[in-house]
Structure 1
Amino acid sequence: MVRLKTRRALLKTIGGTATAAGFVGTASGRQRTRHGKQNRGTRYAAFNVIELETEQVQKPGDPQAEAAARVIQEVRPDVLVVNELTNNLQQGKYTDRTNIDAFVENYLSVPQRDDLDGIDYEYTLQPKSNTGVLPEQDYDFNKDGTFGKRPGDAFGFGVYPGHYAFAIASKYPIDTSSVRSFQTFNWADMPGNLIPVAGEEGVVTDPEDDEIAIYLTEEDLDVYRLPSKTHIDIPFEVEGGTVHGLFAHPTPPGFDGVNNFNGRWNHDEVRFFADYVAGEDYIYDDSGVRGGLDDDASYVLMGDMNAGPGLGRDERPLHPAQEFLVDNDDFYTDRLPKSPGGAQRGLPTATRFGGDFEGVVEQIDYVLPSPDLSLRSSSVVWPSKNATKQNLGEDVSTASDHRLVWADIATHPGH
């Protein structure tokens, strides 16, 4: 990637020195002015509530949704992204209201414990997802010998359209006329992409009996999309100005065989928003508008990137999070959210526990501001094993194998 020199790089130090020190375990670390008014800025949060499906949120009473709502009500974010929330409109179920609206109405707006208050999110958005969406013609994307079959031949892994999607809830207005989605961006249109293409040196197309080899053919390249869900830029009208929320949920880098297909795919999905904030001109959105984000724009990257700095296991040889997020001057990463629970397990910045790798802790969920913004405080909601507020620990485990990540971010020190 050729990174443009922007004013954001010059503002990195300014953004850092404007922040308050310290990481807190829940929402208790709020700043107040001398008049008693909260002065925390805008609280942004990302929460992968693992595979939260339509039947769970459209009716009250689901234990996982209740636990997730309790965690969210503890933190009380102003802007929230929920990863792995099914897009029911694409799925074709309960189409009278979106799943994000149902989750807000049935769970978030209702106190989930006597000492908690409900949260009313006036503004919501549920973007379309590539998961489970098949091309108009049949392709064998996963090279298993069958054509046009979910989940492997969809644009993104899913057993039905809208599976593993995500949605956004906000207390602040969304400038809907300026939303830019990139759901249909073609992977092959990214310069210097890492697509394993049939016929290229080192790309296996005739694997051994016990191997998986996923790759794209020249015909596949014409239609294969980069976003496994979608990439979307949503401008919020917060106190002090407009902040662009950048949302994505790249494919997990694994389960893909000798060509490291999903690892390469994840690498380029993570890279996309690094290129976008750098203003790269190869980018185009679903409306055909070309170019990246304006140089003077403020933004916050949010969500499960399925990529963490320093992940060195054999099935994850690439390090896109290190290159495109942590070491990228276009994001402020000098202080990352931490938790007591992660620290007890050897990684204070961890946001995920267990899952497909028993006992493994990973930092793969992010809330990263542009360096011109003021980071006030941040945290991962993961109590220590001996925390006195034990019910919170039970809730985070019931809700997901991921932990909610939040950050208080102001547009400038006065807000």
Structure 2
Amino acid sequence: MLLASMAQADPLRIATFNTELSRKGPGLLLRDILRGDDPAVASVMDAILSIAPDIIVLQGIDYDLEGRALNALADSLTAAGLSYPHRFAGPPNAGRQSDLDLDGDGKRSGPGDAQGYGRFFGQGAMAILSQHPFVLNELQDFSAFLWKDLPDTLYPMVNGTPFAGLDAQGAQRLSSNSHWSLPVQTPEYGSVTLLTYHATPPVFDGPEDRNGRRNHDETAFWRHHIEGRIGTTPKGPFILLGDANLDPHRGDGRGEAITSLLTHSALQDPLPDIPTVNWPRTGPMRVDYILPSRDWQIVDAGVHWAKGDVASRHALVWVDLTR
């Protein structure tokens, strides 16, 4: 009976979307959402309402300790007819000051000295909205995982010593935002684990290629996780999704990291070679991904481009799944 009911179940629609809603200071995003007339917020809401995913991972949304900005966005979606009663946003590395010179510029307390780039704590962070409850007691938050502890780490070395010094290497976390493994309890498919992150851009650094190396390793982390070398691998079906800031063929990043996931035997790629971002300097690239585990059946998939003069440069990426 269980197999029959699952065969008849509606597909689970999963999405990821870099909203680019981040503001220049704390509290400003909440202010703009509450005003109800911000064109960028309206564009993001229109995109989400158009696709109506069951679960959506958001990037580029500012974090605050009480979740007010995220709740305001979710409440606005509810008022528009799409309810997300379950909301998650853990404390990120974005803007989390280290009190060290992590970027090697000889200064401390700048945005590049935070564990993840940010002018204030939580700038441009991540969040999840879901129609189904999270299994929070099974959350694995890898945000404090140290970069140097990643197997085969590419932490930059200069003349045989760690870039920015031993203290920086000893404190530098891998995640520029967060790495989360979070199960969601769905009525049709049981517990479904989301593996999600938002990697740093592989540019804006020096000859040491600190950002390029970190971007590579933030994506390579997931291969180590699903192969059992870091943390506890998902017990059942899972979905790896987020903004890798990395195209397998184009751009300045080390594309082999994402290629190793796109070709991994445990994963499948619903949207091969489909651009998900259009930056003026680079043109269309693929940097946003949804990679379901092999035990899913892909029903449909696509990208949806937000509208408006201040719309996100990223598309909302979605996939419909059954088992």
Q: Normalising by the residue count of structure 2, what TM-score does the alignment of the two structures yield? A: 0.90
1:200 Cα deviation (Å)? 2.0
The 8 Å contact of residues 216 and 253 in structure 2, kept in 1 or not, is answered as no
Change (3 A) 1:317 1:226: closer
| Structure 1 gap segments, 5+ residues each | 1-32, 90-94, 112-117, 204-214, 284-290, 338-347, 383-392
The more displaced of 43-52 and 76-85 is 43-52
Query: What letter corresponds to residue 86 of structure 2 in structure 1?
Result: Y
1:61 pairs with 2:37? yes
Indicate if the aligned counterparts of 1:278 and 1:292 stay in contact, CA closer than 8 A: no
Cα displacement (A) at 1:292 = 3.0
Match of 1:400 among 286, 308, 312: 312
Q: Does 1:196 align with 2:189?
A: no
CA 59–125 in structure 1, closer or farther in 2 if over 3 Å, else same: farther
Partner of residue 156, structure 1: 116
- What's the counterpart of residue 110 of structure 1? 79
Check if 1:292 corresponds to 2:252.
no
**Structure 2 CA distance for aligned equivalents of residues 317 and 176 of structure 1:** 33
Aligned ranges 1:118-129 → 2 under 5 Å: 118-129=81-92
Q: Percent identity among equivalent residues?
A: 29
1:230 Cα offset (Å)? 0.8
Counterpart residue type for residue 354 of structure 1? W
Shift of 1:40: 4.1
Q: Which string of whole-angstrom CA distances, capped at 9 and with x for unpartnered residues, describes residues 146-201 of structure 1?
A: 12x22011100000000010110000111111111011111111121001123328
Amino acid across the alignment from 1:176: L
Letter of the 1:123 counterpart: H
Equivalent residues of 1:58, 1:102 under 8 A apart = yes
Question: Aligned AA for 1:278?
Answer: E
Q: Determine the C-alpha separation between the residues in 1 that align with 2:30 and 2:165.
A: 35
Partner of 1:49: 19
* Counterparts of 1:101 and 1:394, CA distance in 2: 23
Q: What letter corresponds to residue 143 of structure 1 in structure 2? A: G
Q: Could you tell me whether the CA contact under 8 Å between 2:242 and 2:288 is conserved in 1?
A: yes
- Return the match for 1:132 from 79, 95, 100: 95
2:213 to 256, 260, 264: 264
Q: Secondary structure of 1:367's partner?
A: strand
SS in 2 for 1:229: coil
Amino acid in the other structure paired with 2:102: F
2:196 counterpart (241, 247, 253) = 247
Task: Determine if contact 1:352/1:402 at 8 Å carries over to the other structure.
Answer: yes
When the two structures are superposed, what TM-score results if normalisation uses the length of structure 1?
Answer: 0.71
Paired AA for residue 235 in structure 1: P
Measure how far apart 1:317 and its partner are.
4.4
- Which of 354, 357, 367 is the aligned partner of 2:279? 354
Q: Distance in 2 between matches of 1:317 and 1:173?
A: 36
User: Structure 2: which 5+ runs fail to align?
Assistant: 1-6, 23-28
User: 2:247: which partner in 1?
Assistant: 308
Deviations 1:336-389 (A, max 9, x none): 16xxxxxxxxxx60000025x25x11111011100111111100114xxxxxxx
Residue 198 of structure 2 aligns to a residue in which SS?
coil
Once the two structures are superposed, residues 207-232 of structure 1 have per-residue CA deviations (whole angstroms, 9 ceiling, x without a partner) of: xxxxxxxx242221211100001101
Matched, 1:326 2:249: no
| Post-superposition CA distance 1:131-155 (Å, at most 9, x none) | 11112xx3111111112x2201110
Change (3 A) 1:169 1:193: same
1-structure distance, mates of 2:254, 2:17: 26
Aligned to 1:185: 145
| RMSD (Å) for aligned C-alpha atoms | 2.0
Query: Letter of the aligned partner of 1:103 in structure 2?
Result: L
Structure-2 separation of matches of 1:394 and 1:252: 24
Aligned length: 310
